[in-house]
Amino acid sequence: MALLEVTDLVTHFKTDRGIVQAVNGVSFSLDRGQTLGIVGESGSGKSVLSRSIMNLLPRRGVIRSGEVVFDGKVTSTMSSKESRKLYGPGMAMIFQDPMTSLNPVVKIGRQLTEGLTQHFDVKKSVARETAEELLRSVGIPEPKRRLSEYPFQLSGGMRQRVVIASALACGPQMLFADEPTTALDVTVQKTILNLLARQQRERDMAMILVTHDLGVVAGRTDEIMVMYAGMVVEKANTTDLFANMRHPYTEALLKSIPKLSDPSHTRLESIPGRPPNLIAPPTGCRFAPRCTYADDWCHKELPPLAEDPESPGHFFRCWNPVSVTAVKIASKPETADASAASAPAGAN
């Protein structure tokens, strides 16, 4: 049985202007030791999804439905007291910005041992040794000295390592990494992602990597789920997705990554328009207003998340799927342009 089973998860927020449909009927499952990448631009509901799975959203003003089963237990209906026990040893989360996710006035040692003393009956000295060990395992030199330092004494990359160490402190079965490298320097991003991958392998954790950057998830995840306007628009295992992307949005996301092989001053491709208003989402396909392939039908009827008959396990939500199979892997995207140019797909 899968470690995490999410069925038809819906999260809406009540606001003064109306109901924001942040997450709309998302379903997926994740096994132990597997990595799922959730990709989408800002406002696509990816962060809300991970917070919703972890029960971290406020109760007030939030409409939720659907079911989350973690390790055989239904967590979506748990009280905050019950879900507290789940955090740490069960689920843990790494946040986007290490500048804000560490407490600026609390020493690193205490921030690391907080989870340990909360969940396990350990002595302070033991917790401190564990914290030191954790810092060493995430590649922080002189861990003993760092324990008595404050976050502002560390660089951004080091801080994110501390955040990772504190998330790993209780040995979670499942790790949510919510844009773990967005706030970091590009040179540091890779080392942090490698560190996460190594820790995941060593601990046999399940991991959900939330990002807006297809390049980040390429080659690091087993499965990728592309989200748009709170809905899953494409879901496939990683090699499959890059080899044969079907949804125009996925394709557009990939095209908007700058390529080193392009001549200088090449205009970066972007997706025209803005993400839809989630209070009054467009009828029909949510992506239709920004889609180059959209026709009348796309604007009328919301496509279902359907499985590709040719490759089982590859789901997409599109009436006019991109059908050319030339995009191989994100790190070699120069072929993407050629494919995209000849991409206009057949009619529905």
Partner 1 sequence: MTAVAEQREQSAAAVTSEPVPSVAAPLLVRKPWGLAFWVAVGWLVSVVVSTIVANLVDWKKEVDFLGTVDVTEGRWSKTISATHPFGLNFGGNDILVDLVRGAKNSLVIAAATVILGFLVGGTLGMVAGYFRGRVDTILSFFANVLLSVPPLLFILLMIAVLSSRGGTGEAQALSSSVGKVSLALGILSIPQIFRVVRASTIQFSQREFVMAARAMGAKVPRILWGDILPNVAKPMLAYGLVSAGAVMVIEGGLSFLGVGVGSGTDTTAWGKQISAASQRADLERAPMVAFIPGLALFLTVLAFNYIGDKARERLENKQAAL
Q: Quote the strand ranges of 118-250, DSSP E.
A: 174-178, 206-211, 223-228, 231-237
Among 18, 77, 152, 202, binds partner 1 (CB under 8 A): 152
54 binds partner 1 (CB under 8 A): yes
- The yes or no reply on residue 100 touching partner 1 (CB under 8 A) is yes
Contacts of 54 (CB under 8 A, 6+ apart): 83, 87, 91, 93, 176
Is residue 268 at the binding interface for partner 1, with CB under 8 A as the rule? Answer: no
- Give the whole-angstrom CA distance, residue 170 versus residue 333: 39
From edge to edge, which strands make up the β-sheet containing 62-70?
18-30, 4-15, 62-70, 73-74
Paired with 62 in beta bridges are 13
- The verdict on 229 binding partner 1 (CB under 8 A) reads no
- Cα–Cα dist 262/5, whole Å: 42
List the one residue from 6, 93, 210, 298 that touches partner 1 (CB under 8 A): 93
> Which of the ranges 115-123, 211-219, 248-256, 310-318 carries the binding residues for partner 1, by CB under 8 A?
115-123
Q: Is 85 in the site for partner 1 (CB under 8 A)?
A: yes
Nearer to partner 1, 138 or 336 (CB): 138
Residue 28 contacts residue 235 (beta carbons within 8 Å):
yes
Q: Is 79 in the site for partner 1 (CB under 8 A)?
A: no
Query: Where does this chain touch partner 1 (CB under 8 A) — which range of 162-170, 299-307, 311-319, 326-334?
Result: 162-170
Interaction of residue 155 with partner 1, rule CB under 8 A: no
Residues 252, 64: Cα–Cα separation, whole Å: 30
Tell the smallest beta-carbon distance from residue 73 to partner 1 (Å): 15
The Cα 44–Cα 188 span in angstroms is 26
Is 119 near partner 1 (CB under 8 A)?
A: yes
**Residue 266: partners with Cβ closer than 8 Å, 6 or more residues away:** none
CA angle in degrees (0–180, nearest 5) for 339-341-347: 90
Q: How many angstroms separate the CA atoms of 71 and 117, rounded?
A: 23
The structure tokens listed for 84 are: 């507290």
Q: For residue 311, give the DSSP letter.
A: S
Of 9-17, 96-104, 240-248, 313-321, which part binds partner 1 (CB under 8 A)? 96-104
Q: How far is the CB of 91 from partner 1 (least distance, A)?
A: 8
Q: Least separation, in Å, of the C-beta of 119 and partner 1?
A: 6
Q: Pick from 71, 114, 222, 301: which binds partner 1 (CB under 8 A)?
A: 114
Q: Is 181 near partner 1 (CB under 8 A)?
A: no
Candidates 28, 70, 95, 315; binder of partner 1 (CB under 8 A) is 95
Residue 341, CA atoms < 13 Å, CB-side half-sphere: 4
Binding site for partner 1 (CB under 8 A): 51, 54, 56, 60, 84-88, 91-93, 95-97, 99-106, 110, 114-115, 118-119, 151-153, 163, 166-167, 169-170
